[in-house]
Structure 1
Amino acid sequence: MNIYVLFFLSILLFSGCINFEQRNEVAQLSGSYNYEFYKNHIEDYKLTTVAHWAHGKISDVLLSNPANPKQSDSQFLKEALWRLKNPSQTEPHQDYVAPEFARLAWRAIQVIDWTHKLHEQLYDIMADSKIAPDEKKYWIDRAVDYYLSEPDVAFSPAPFEEVVMKRVKLMRQPWFKSFRNHWPQTIELFWIFHWWHPVVYETQILFPGSEAQRKAILKVNELFFDKALLTPTNRMLLSREVMPRFSNLSPESANIFDNLHMFHGVVYDILASPKVEDKRKEIYKIIDLMVVRPGDRTLAQNFPTPHPEFDPLGYPLWLKKGSGEMGRIMGHAMNISHEVK
């Protein structure tokens, strides 16, 4: 081969490796419960494929810097609604759904997928009728331990107040609300998904038997399409609000999922904001602030449960109106800020 061709290829290879990241993956934890949710609740599994598709795909849409965000917002919602009616049988990997975002910020894909694996583990455990209700916590804690054993990609089990408000300092960031302000329909869809995920856990804990659980979760699905999509919540709900019993059973996972859901929103804010030039650097800075730190597990239980008797098979008015826990926390932060000034 011509020496000049080799030289040219080496330059291309070197330039392409400047942002190269090793794409290591961690295998899921083995257990007798693996795939129980898929086998027993296939319709709900399909819903998760759409939720995860939407969360990944919007990243690539935002990276394309659409000229008319309002129009793109409507188009994205339209496609998501079509997919809800025509869901995938299996879940594609995030780098297939969002290849541009995967090239930009592979570590972000890792932390999202790693936390989705924890979701799958816990759904499987709760769906496995061979595991007695009083034995569920052992297996849940085992799954959480395994998740936290990868500290570079595991979200902190400390509460939203500690991780998002104190470490990230969400409300002080220049990109705060960039996505919410320009993509209102899409963010409402994501808030619906963030209601649905924890409500399924709460339903599983209240209906441990296979057939009773199957029927109850089908009712949750009806709520999703007949209530939540038509009258969505006006904010992101925290796990403690809509899965109080499961949050008490596993406060670590409740906080981990809140931090995942908030991370999604933070990433979209960064991608949507013209104020952030180096988006990869900013996203990685946020990951470093949100992953687990030594001692975080001791903070896990430090949150209230404002609706301890919440019925996951209902859709009360307070879900659609009011500020909820998010508003309370942010209002408290604003008051402290005013006092400091």
Structure 2
Amino acid sequence: MRTRQLLALFGVTILIAGITGACAPVEQRDKRFYYRALWNFALREQLKELDIEFNGVDFGHSNLYENLLLTGAKDVSAIEDRARKETLRFIYSRPVLNPNEEAIAPNYMKLAWKAQNTFDEAHALHRATYDIYVSDIEDKKTAIHNVLAFYKESQYAITAKQLDHQRLDTFPYSKSFRRKFPLFNATIWAYHYLQVVVYDALAVAPDLPAKQKAVEPILRTYHGYLQKPPVEWTFMPMTAELSPKFAAEYPEIANIFDNLHMMHDNISDILTSDLLPTWEGKRQEIYRVTQTYYWTSADATNPFFVREGQPHHSGLTPGVEPGAPGEQSGHSGGHQ
């Protein structure tokens, strides 16, 4: 009797697995280990205040995508009020470790794992460059070039060429997210401000105490944006405007980060738009955009490269508090 029960249970398990597999494609999880070096986790160990903030950023993106997917982006309050406040609570809990994004957004991860892994690889490049800047190694330039070379070896690498973000913001569904959910959109752009503005501040500071002091006004500005989301911004922050020295020294990395952030905007729009009403339709469009315009493997056919001397986004990155790092004259351009 016990054997028959076990066999029956096993048969039901196989049947359920078969049905599940028929309903959703199974993707290979070929995630790479991060670049290993003596400077790994220097940010966490030496500049914990900034590291904690980046852990909050990781939660925010995943929490947004999961909630957009589960609500069908139909309930404004569910995103602007509930999901955004969940993210703020997590940020203000001061997480000392980066969160498990698959636990935060299990449905999105199953929907578009390759797109998420594209984010993960680029975020690892972000983390590596922060670690190098904060560490006490002398030859930082060689270390950064090494992690860039390692990043480019990934099949999920985002192109290091400059993409035309104005044109990438003109798909039929473009701007859907920022128009429907301006508060959460401004919160996402505030994250991106933080991620790129710190590079020049860290580079100029000669030692760890100076680096700690250099990020203090940046964090005050960032938290001001969290409390009062800058909904007046009309385009995402750009690396060359907030950290021009870093962008001039490492233009490929600056392009990767700007392209990463534009890809975030595209996927937010796809998950919001009524033009793609089904999960499968959203998945197909996420992969079309990711693989056609963002992956390095599409460089030979990508129609969105910027010709030299041409603008690739509208206006300047919005201004920050007077005297704060990354101060600009204001945003002058046109995405509405």
Equivalent AA in structure 2 for residue 170 of structure 1: D
Deviation by residue 1:213-245 (Cα, 9 ceiling, x = unmatched): 111112211222246744626031111111110
Of 71, 84, 87, the match for 2:94: 87
Question: What SS does structure 2 have at the residue aligned with 1:160?
Answer: coil
- Given the superposition, is the C-alpha separation of residues 179 and 99 from structure 1 closer, same or farther in structure 2, using an over 3 Å criterion? same
Question: What SS does structure 1 have at the residue aligned with 2:329?
Answer: helix
For 2:298 and 2:263, the matched residues in 1 are separated by 20
Shift of 1:154: 1.0
> Which residue of the partner structure matches residue 179 of structure 1?
177
Equivalent AA in structure 2 for residue 145 of structure 1: A
For 2:172 and 2:15, the matched residues in 1 are separated by 37
Of 313, 316, 340, the match for 2:324: 313
For 2:198 and 2:323, the matched residues in 1 are separated by 8
Question: What SS does structure 2 have at the residue aligned with 1:130?
Answer: coil
> Which residue of the partner structure matches residue 151 of structure 2?
147
Alignment of 1:206-285 (within 5 A): 206-226=204-224, 229-230=227-228, 232=230, 234=233, 235-276=235-276, 277=278, 278-285=281-288
Question: What SS does structure 1 have at the residue aligned with 2:154?
Answer: coil
**Within the alignment, does 1:202 sit opposite 2:212 as a pair?**
no
For 1:204 and 1:184, the matched residues in 2 are separated by 31
Question: What SS does structure 1 have at the residue aligned with 2:173?
Answer: coil
For 1:268 and 1:294, the matched residues in 2 are separated by 22
Shift of 1:182: 0.8
Deviation by residue 1:168-213 (Cα, 9 ceiling, x = unmatched): x430x22111111111000001111111111111111111422111
Deviation by residue 1:9-34 (Cα, 9 ceiling, x = unmatched): 43322232341112122011111211
Of 84, 94, 119, the match for 1:77: 84
The total of aligned residue pairs comes to 312
**Within the alignment, does 1:287 sit opposite 2:270 as a pair?**
no
**Within the alignment, does 1:59 sit opposite 2:65 as a pair?**
yes
Moved more, 233-242 or 28-37: 233-242
For 1:84 and 1:204, the matched residues in 2 are separated by 22
Moved more, 239-248 or 219-228: 219-228
Alignment of 1:157-176 (within 5 A): 157-161=160-164, 164=165, 169-171=168-170, 173-176=171-174
- Given the superposition, is the C-alpha separation of residues 78 and 228 from structure 1 closer, same or farther in structure 2, using an over 3 Å criterion? closer
Of 110, 132, 153, the match for 1:125: 132
- Given the superposition, is the C-alpha separation of residues 301 and 119 from structure 1 closer, same or farther in structure 2, using an over 3 Å criterion? farther
Question: What SS does structure 1 have at the residue aligned with 2:94?
Answer: coil
Moved more, 242-251 or 80-89: 80-89
Deviation by residue 1:125-152 (Cα, 9 ceiling, x = unmatched): 1111232xxx32211111011001012x
Q: CA RMSD in A?
A: 2.9
Moved more, 280-289 or 77-86: 77-86
For 1:185 and 1:231, the matched residues in 2 are separated by 6
Structure 1: 5+ residue stretches without partners: 332-341
Equivalent AA in structure 2 for residue 313 of structure 1: A
Q: Which has the higher contact order (CA 8 A, sep 6+)?
A: 1
For 1:41 and 1:300, the matched residues in 2 are separated by 36
For 1:236 and 1:294, the matched residues in 2 are separated by 24
> Which residue of the partner structure matches residue 322 of structure 1?
332
Structure 2: 5+ residue stretches without partners: none
Shift of 1:317: 6.0
Moved more, 251-260 or 73-82: 73-82
**Within the alignment, does 1:36 sit opposite 2:42 as a pair?**
yes
Question: What SS does structure 1 have at the residue aligned with 2:296?
Answer: coil
Task: Compute the TM-score of the two structures, normalised by the length of structure 1.
Answer: 0.82
For 2:154 and 2:57, the matched residues in 1 are separated by 24
For 2:82 and 2:9, the matched residues in 1 are separated by 45
Shift of 1:68: 2.5
